[in-house]
Amino acid sequence: MVAGEAGIGKSALIDAVVEDLDGFEVLRAAGTEFERDLLYATLHQLCAPVLDHRHRLPAVQRKALEAVFGLGAQTSPDPLTVGLAVLGLLHEAAQDGPVCCVVDDAQWIDDASRRALVFVARRVSAERIAMVFAARDVGSPSGLAEFPRVPLVGLDDEDARALLRAATHVGPDAEAADRILAEAHGNPLALLEFAHHAEPFGVPGPRRFRASVVDKLEEQFVHRFERLPDAARSLVVLAAADPVGDLDLLRRAARLLGLDAAGLTLAENAGLLALGPRLRFRHPLVRSAVYASATPKKRRSMHGALAEATDPATDLDRRAWHRAHAVVEADENVAAELERSADRARLRGGFAAAAAFMERAGRLTPAPGRQAERLFVAAQLRLQAGAPDAARALLTRAERRPMDDTCRARARLLRARIGYQLSHGPQATAGLVDAVTELAPEQAGETYLEAFASVMYNDNHPGLLQELGARIRERVPRREPVRPTDLLLDALLDQSMLPVERAVPTMRDAVAACRTAAPSSEPWRMNLLCQVVIDLRDDEVMEEVADRQVDAARRQGALASLPQALRYQAVARVSAGRFDEAAACLGEARAVDEAAGTVPLLGPELVLTGFRGDGERFAELRDLLGRDGRPFEAAGEHYARAVLHNGLGNYEAALDAALTAQRRHQAGSYSIWAVYSELVEAAARTGRGEEAAVAMRHLEALARTHPVPWAVAEWLQAQALLEQGDDCEALYRRAVDHFSRTRIRVLHARARLTYGEWLRRANRRSEAREELRAAHDTLSRIGARAFADRAARELRATGEQPRRPGEDPLDRLTAQERLIAGKVAAGATSREVGGMLFLSPRTVDAHLRNVYRKLGISSRRQLREMPL
């Protein structure tokens, strides 16, 4: 990142470096003020010379590139997929030789290009790719501040005088030189300009003095521009209005204005621009100064000619943008064309660009009602682009225009959504629910589900969830036929508001309907179903739904919902005792979050860490909750803490965590149902069985209304732990037997552990050893270290020394290396792994080389043979 004020020498420095690159393919692009709202404008400049390499990319990446560059179907690729596609494109180009990407005036690149280029720049460390950005020293564009920075400052007086002498051969006289040095402040471009084009005393006199060197430079360029003949000045303004620098386009537009494009050579001779395959201004300040100096009428005529000269078959959106700048009065035809451009930008995933088109369309719409509608859509797009404040300003403008009742209702909902995005607090959520009341039924259900689910896990206001549920229940429309989404909303409401025995039937109906429905176009809804299934303790459906949702999110490119789908998949893997697979899921989820720049949720990682018994790591994760904009995730934290301390034998701490979850549940907040089994075990071990009364009622109700093996096993084990029955041994045996019919290995092993502990206390050491040995072996193998240590202590108490597990060579790998090794061992190629983890294939191969070295192997075949 090369940073400095205009004229300080950023471009000159980069040009000097690029000229010395031997064997590199140099790709260049520059941001322009005029194109800041044109989707992927800068990226297109950069990638156009190597776009043919897209045919060697995976289909999803190739289609993403073709969509954003208008070469294929108008789909809406996820920005992360676009970033990965650009990385893949440059990777393919680099197979023929190293590539250097230069992006000048990065402060003006469009937002979509910026996101993609920052994504790529973070991942080229293992590639034969160099990236250089240059930007004005006005604060780095978002995402670029993290890169190594080369700040450029002005020359000192000695070097500045040397430059003046070199530029003018003899140098100005002492008085003029002093004046130039004082005005230029060491800025090289200013020194050269003032030296060559000074007034008698070196620079423009005090009457024209302005504080900024940039202002003085612009004034200098305008002064030079004004010396040109009228026709040449018009041609320069025409060129300034077209950031592309397409000489054929400029010649066509010039002819429409009755001008001869050959007159541009006068501007070239004056040092304002350079002619070549494309027209380039000597400096961006020349363009901005010339454009600003023209009258509004002159600028409109130039844009009108450019619009007429632009081929609508190849550049429809830029034509629409020029037309929008060519009119002063409202014009429905131009507004409609801008609206169509907004629709195309939206399909290509460019919400910011779509919003800019639609906002301009709104301004040019003559009919007040239609203007309100377009401004309203622009506000929606600004919100989707992550600019809630700009969305609110546009919405305010829209609301000042005439609206019918339906539009007013939609506007109130949008205002509530904006408030909700700015603050997920209780008032914002309540406002969102109230605004939904006036919506059409098919829209209302989706919004109710979104609002309710958003506070379900992070509700730290006792009673809020039940109050919210009651308000939704009053308003929720009843329709026939009932959709799976409607049943899912009913299930979540019943689960939070009704006793277990009354909630379970609705939950089961929702699971049945969603399992048989076509994959959702919104995978986040099905992520909610995963939690319902987990609470119902249906292990087979749990894994099926979790895997299905990950596959759907990947297939649809729904990267916004993929991380949470992966986290539910991780929870399913934890229950099945496949901790390494769970860690791989969480690693991939973190990779997506990191690529998207979103704050990761920590609940599932807390659960895995709790089952592993890693108290130090658990404390680190817990300290992150509620910080830096993270939600507290109370439901997951209480459950995971209870698991951790039950494993470590800190039963008082486990009981405290479980009782906290229970109190939340009784106050109307959501708690993970699995916490009640942890509560019973902690209560039994601390001799406070009376504290488990509520938990016992919950477990019994679930087992009776939904008698799947997992639920029944937990109820039997709870009775045995509290010795509620005449035959505790039978209860333990039946619990172990029911767990053996499930995929829940970790709880099956824990059931054998508790049974072995009971047998040892009954002085039946021989029988205890058999259960404890089996529990220890399984718990050690799957990585539940604290529970395995508990089993080891019990085994020693029976007189048997537990077997020590050998060193696992996989422990030598970093988390990233283990994640990549697992995916490669499962058969994925480097390209496929890169696609999953948002890395280039070359980076994946670099990690694999480290894996081979640490494991003492040399091939993928050997890796597949290892127990990953």
CA pair distance 422, 429, nearest whole angstrom: 11
CATH number at residue 786: 1.25.40
CA pair distance 376, 370, nearest whole angstrom: 10
Mean pLDDT of the region 3-31: 89
Task: Find tokens 């000097």 and name the residue.
Answer: 16
Mean pLDDT is lowest, of 514-523, 794-803, 857-866, for: 514-523
Mean pLDDT of the region 715-739: 93
Q: How confident is the model at residue 741 (pLDDT cuts 50, 70, 90)?
A: very high
CA pair distance 792, 351, nearest whole angstrom: 58
CA pair distance 515, 529, nearest whole angstrom: 9
Mean pLDDT is lowest, of 90-94, 408-412, 634-638, 790-794, for: 408-412
CA pair distance 721, 188, nearest whole angstrom: 82
For residue 764, being part of any structural domain is answered with: yes
* Alpha helix ranges (H) inside 385-463: 388-399, 405-422, 426-436, 441-456
CA pair distance 599, 629, nearest whole angstrom: 8
CA pair distance 186, 190, nearest whole angstrom: 8
Mean pLDDT of the region 440-466: 68
- Is the peptide bond between 481 and the residue preceding it cis, with omega within 30 degrees of 0? yes
Task: Find tokens 């930007």 and name the residue.
Answer: 135
Do 632 and 657 belong to one domain? yes
Do 340 and 353 belong to one domain? yes
Retrieve residue 120's tokens: 């790529």
Please, is 182 exposed, middle or buried when counting C-beta atoms within 10 Å of its C-beta (0-12, 13-18, 19+)? Answer: exposed
Do 719 and 788 belong to one domain? yes
Strand partners, 27: 101
The predicted pLDDT at position 701 comes to: 96
Do 714 and 652 belong to one domain? no
For residue 275, being part of any structural domain is answered with: no
The predicted pLDDT at position 204 comes to: 44
Is 678:643 a contact under the CB 8 Å cutoff? yes
Mean pLDDT is lowest, of 206-220, 359-373, 722-736, 841-855, for: 206-220
Q: Give the pairing of strands 273-274 and 2-4.
A: unpaired
Task: Find tokens 């929008």 and name the residue.
Answer: 324
Do 12 and 99 belong to one domain? yes
Retrieve residue 845's tokens: 């191969």
Question: What's the angle, vertex CA 9, arms to CA 6 and CA 15, rounded to 5?
Answer: 125
Mean pLDDT of the region 445-471: 71
Do 555 and 618 belong to one domain? no
The predicted pLDDT at position 202 comes to: 39
The predicted pLDDT at position 210 comes to: 41
The predicted pLDDT at position 349 comes to: 61
DSSP E strands in 8-75: the ranges are: 25-30
Range of the structural domain that residue 589 is part of: 519-599
Do 620 and 735 belong to one domain? no
Highest mean pLDDT among 104-108, 240-244, 518-522, 608-612: 608-612
The predicted pLDDT at position 558 comes to: 62
Retrieve residue 539's tokens: 């292990």
Residues of the chain above pLDDT 90, percent: 38
Q: How confident is the model at residue 141 (pLDDT cuts 50, 70, 90)?
A: low
The predicted pLDDT at position 711 comes to: 96
The predicted pLDDT at position 356 comes to: 84
Regarding predicted confidence, which is higher, 340 or 201?
A: 340
For residue 105, being part of any structural domain is answered with: yes
pLDDT digits (tens, 9 = 90+) for 332-375: 999 999 999 888 877 766 677 788 889 989 999 999 989 999 99
The DSSP letter of residue 27 is E
- Does position 200 have pLDDT exceeding 60, yes or no? no
Neighbours of 597 (CB within 10 A): 12
Retrieve residue 858's tokens: 């040399």
CA pair distance 63, 86, nearest whole angstrom: 12
Mean pLDDT is lowest, of 3-7, 470-474, 732-736, for: 470-474
Retrieve residue 690's tokens: 């009376």
DSSP E strands in 170-279: the ranges are: 273-274
Least Cα distance to 53 among 82, 81, 95, 23 occurs for: 95
CA within 13 Å, CB half, 868: 25
Mean pLDDT is lowest, of 125-134, 379-388, 766-775, for: 379-388
CA pair distance 416, 401, nearest whole angstrom: 19
The predicted pLDDT at position 825 comes to: 84
Regarding predicted confidence, which is higher, 420 or 483?
A: 483
Regarding predicted confidence, which is higher, 640 or 634?
A: 640
- Does position 616 have pLDDT exceeding 80, yes or no? yes
pLDDT digits (tens, 9 = 90+) for 213-230: 677 777 878 888 999 999
Mean pLDDT is lowest, of 107-121, 158-172, 593-607, 668-682, for: 158-172
Is 692:679 a contact under the CB 8 Å cutoff? yes
Q: How confident is the model at residue 625 (pLDDT cuts 50, 70, 90)?
A: confident
Regarding predicted confidence, which is higher, 196 or 150?
A: 150
Mean pLDDT of the region 275-281: 84
Total domains, the chain: 7
Domain boundary among 470, 496, 518: 518
For residue 767, being part of any structural domain is answered with: yes
Residue 532 — φ and ψ, nearest 5°? -60, -45
The predicted pLDDT at position 442 comes to: 56
- Does position 454 have pLDDT exceeding 70, yes or no? no
For residue 74, being part of any structural domain is answered with: yes
The DSSP letter of residue 125 is T
Do 686 and 729 belong to one domain? no
List the end-to-end C-alpha distance of the chain, in Å, as a whole number.
41
Domain boundary among 422, 454, 479: 422
Do 785 and 817 belong to one domain? no
Do 682 and 801 belong to one domain? no
For residue 287, being part of any structural domain is answered with: no
Do 639 and 529 belong to one domain? no
Q: What is the dihedral of CA 774, 776, 777, 782, to 10 degrees?
A: 120
CA pair distance 84, 86, nearest whole angstrom: 5
Regarding predicted confidence, which is higher, 33 or 824?
A: 824
Which residues, including other chains, have CB under 8 Å from residue 48's CB and lie 6 or more apart?
Answer: none
CA distance to 47, 80, 156, 416, per residue, from 116 (Å): 12, 7, 38, 31
CA pair distance 841, 839, nearest whole angstrom: 7
- Does position 394 have pLDDT exceeding 80, yes or no? yes
CA pair distance 474, 29, nearest whole angstrom: 56
Do 342 and 416 belong to one domain? yes
Average pLDDT, the chain: 84
Mean pLDDT is lowest, of 182-186, 357-361, 696-700, for: 182-186
For residue 560, being part of any structural domain is answered with: yes
Retrieve residue 23's tokens: 């064997």
Mean pLDDT of the region 64-72: 81
CA within 13 Å, CB half, 272: 30
Least Cα distance to 132 among 24, 37, 272 occurs for: 24
Retrieve residue 254's tokens: 């010039």
Regarding predicted confidence, which is higher, 73 or 723?
A: 723
C-alpha gyration radius of the chain:
33
CA pair distance 21, 47, nearest whole angstrom: 19
- Does position 456 have pLDDT exceeding 90, yes or no? no
Q: How confident is the model at residue 609 (pLDDT cuts 50, 70, 90)?
A: very high
Regarding predicted confidence, which is higher, 232 or 439?
A: 232
User: How is 272-334 classified by DSSP, letter by letter?
Assistant: SEE-SSB-EESSHHHHHHHHHHS-HHHHHHHHHHHHHHS-TTT-HHHHHHHHHHH-SS--HHH
- Does position 787 have pLDDT exceeding 50, yes or no? yes
The predicted pLDDT at position 53 comes to: 93
CA pair distance 1, 455, nearest whole angstrom: 41
CA pair distance 684, 679, nearest whole angstrom: 9
The predicted pLDDT at position 201 comes to: 37
pTM above 0.75, yes or no: no
The predicted pLDDT at position 473 comes to: 79
Least Cα distance to 23 among 81, 75, 97 occurs for: 97
- Does position 172 have pLDDT exceeding 80, yes or no? no
Domain boundary among 542, 573, 599: 599
Task: Find tokens 């020590």 and name the residue.
Answer: 804
The predicted pLDDT at position 41 comes to: 84
For residue 281, being part of any structural domain is answered with: no
Is 172:201 a contact under the CB 8 Å cutoff? no
CATH number at residue 134: 3.40.50
The predicted pLDDT at position 75 comes to: 66
Is 433:413 a contact under the CB 8 Å cutoff? no
The predicted pLDDT at position 67 comes to: 82
